[in-house]
Amino acid sequence: MTLTGHSLIAGQPVVGGGKTAFGFNPATNGQLDPAYSLITGEQLTTATSAAAAAYPSFSTLAPAAHAAFLDAIADNIEAIGDELITRAGQETGLPAARLTGERARTTGQLRLFANVVRQGDFRGVRIDPALPERTPMPRADIRQRQIPLGPVAVFGASNFPLAFSTAGGDTASALAAGCPVVFKAHNAHPGTSELVGQAIAKAVKDHGLHPGVFSLIYGPGASIGQALVADPAIKAVGFTGSQAAGIALMRTAAARPEPIPVYAEMSSLNPVFVFDGALSGSAEQIDALAQQYVTAVTGSSGQLCTSPGLLFAPAGELGDKLAAAVGRAISACAGQTMLTEGIAGSWNAGAEALGSADGVTVVGQGTQGPTENAPAPTIFGTQVRDFVTNHVLHQEIFGAASLVIRYSSTAELLEAIGRLEGQLTASLQLTEADYPTAAPLIPALEQKVGRIIVNGWPTGVEVGHAMVHGGPFPATSDTRTTSVGTLAINRFLRPVAYQNLPQELLPAALQDTNPWQLNRRIDGSVVAADAEVSA
């Protein structure tokens, strides 16, 4: 596929009227061609207006055609082949194996949502048939369904050039809901974004959909990104990135004449709690636990939103053995190239601030990697009393760094949990003997995280029906939602009730004949798709 270096607005390449920008290879800091032209505010309006024009037809698309469109996007992405993996690797420094897996996750998400569309339960059909003979007052016929919010702005993530970017989870769930998408590419991987954008645009065209269903734009976040959120045609926002950027978008959305929801996934420390039982085995078992922790910290150079930034280990001999094993494991690690020069610089600043904080020591450190943007991974250590009193120890370091915190009692753990901000995950390493000690932590953690894990690690988020990838602020902007899994579609829907409408005026999803073959809740009971509502 040919890279044009231009935005793709309603199916057409558009030469931006603003400045130009390049992608860079973080392994060399070398500039990558082509130059990408950045759009103006007027050109942005063309994209959002096209999305608004596409909404009436796309939001009412029949399930079979809608699902086939999502499947086609997945097929088109796979058809790009090695070119996509190569370009993504050049722009991010991520290894081919990681990117190949991420591509599979991206296409898997799309096909999962295609099945959700076919099955149709997300439409939330509820029917309370009329009860004209009810006393003392009759009941009207009332029917409810979920409808798409409208055009959605989606922002690409730096750390997932595929699974959380152009056709990633936010785009896939918004399109599955029936919402046109205006996607703002992340400037760190513009070529990757364009390749995937072309695959989506091809699916739009091949399936005869309105071209405004999808647009891909390039522009500065401080101007074009903010203008996109402020545009009156946009009805919701999906974002994955820094807390500062996410909050800036939230403020813009809240200040609009018509405020809109921003579903932002931002920062998380993902604490891990290790109990005595998990350390009471052999030295080899302790070494294995330490290696698992270090692998979770250093994987993808620690640039995962679920990387464990905190590990609570017991005081005393067992905790000492774990800390020593962690030190040995991390010392064998070399730094990996980070996504951008700027991200590597932020990691260095964060690690320096943490390392110089009172009560903090170095548990172990690896070696500088082969490139300038591959800092040595580092594990720091402190005591729980220092953690609960020093806010610096609560700051996320995006990259391969983590903090081991030594504790002496459940009471100390509960105090530490109480001081935590909202997180995506919390993990417990334990045996059955630890259940009584761990039990009081569960209700406390429920108030702080979106996912609780036992004897596992938070990295590697399964994409399925039960997954929650969310949590209280500042992990996300809306603690009620998830950005991964089929429940993510709910973010882009709202309920509408229809009272006493004749059959001829009802949407297909609510008609007695049930032409879309949906499961429905009738008078409070779930009724299978092949049943009809009596007149």
The pLDDT tens digits of the residues spanning 52-82 come to: 999 999 999 999 999 999 999 999 999 999 9
For 272-454, CATH number?
3.40.309.10
Catalytic residues: 265, 305
Q: Report the alpha-carbon distance of residue 55 to residue 9 in Å, rounded.
A: 15
pLDDT (average), residues 336-347 = 97
Tens-place pLDDT, residues 446-478 = 999 999 999 999 999 999 999 999 999 999 999
The domain segmentation of the chain, as residue ranges, is 7-131+139-266+483-490, 272-454
- Residue 396 pLDDT greater than 90, yes or no: yes
Give the model's confidence band at 355: pLDDT under 50 very low, under 70 low, under 90 confident, else very high: very high
Which of helix, strand or coil describes residue 305?
coil
Which residues 6+ apart lie within 8 Å of 328 measured at CB? 287, 290, 364
pLDDT score, position 533? 58
Strands 181-184 and 152-155, how do they pair?
A: parallel
User: Distance of alpha carbon 463 from its chain centroid, rounded?
Assistant: 11
pLDDT (average), residues 250-261 = 98
Q: How would you list the strands of the sheet with 401-407, edge to edge?
A: 361-365, 378-383, 401-407, 310-314, 272-274, 423-429, 449-454
Q: What is the pTM of this model?
A: 0.96
Give the model's confidence band at 534: pLDDT under 50 very low, under 70 low, under 90 confident, else very high: low
Closest to 509 measured CA to CA, from 104, 99, 114, 122: 122
pLDDT score, position 221? 86
pLDDT (average), residues 199-205 = 98
Tens-place pLDDT, residues 1-49 = 899 999 999 999 999 999 999 999 999 999 999 999 999 999 999 999 9
DSSP string of 93-142? ---HHHHHHHHHHHHHHHHHHHHHHHH-GGG--EEE--BTT-SSS-B--E
pLDDT score, position 532? 62
pLDDT score, position 385? 97
H or E segment and range at residue 495:
strand 493-499
Share of the chain above pLDDT 90, in %: 98
* Alpha-carbon distances of 523 from 499, 501, 528, rounded to whole Å: 14, 17, 13
Tens-place pLDDT, residues 104-157 = 999 999 999 999 999 999 999 999 999 999 999 999 999 999 999 999 999 999
Strand partners, 451: 425
Give the model's confidence band at 216: pLDDT under 50 very low, under 70 low, under 90 confident, else very high: very high
In CATH, which of 3.40.605.10, 2.60.40.10, 3.40.1390.10, 3.30.70.120 is domain 7-131+139-266+483-490? Answer: 3.40.605.10
pLDDT (average), residues 202-210 = 98
pLDDT score, position 209? 98
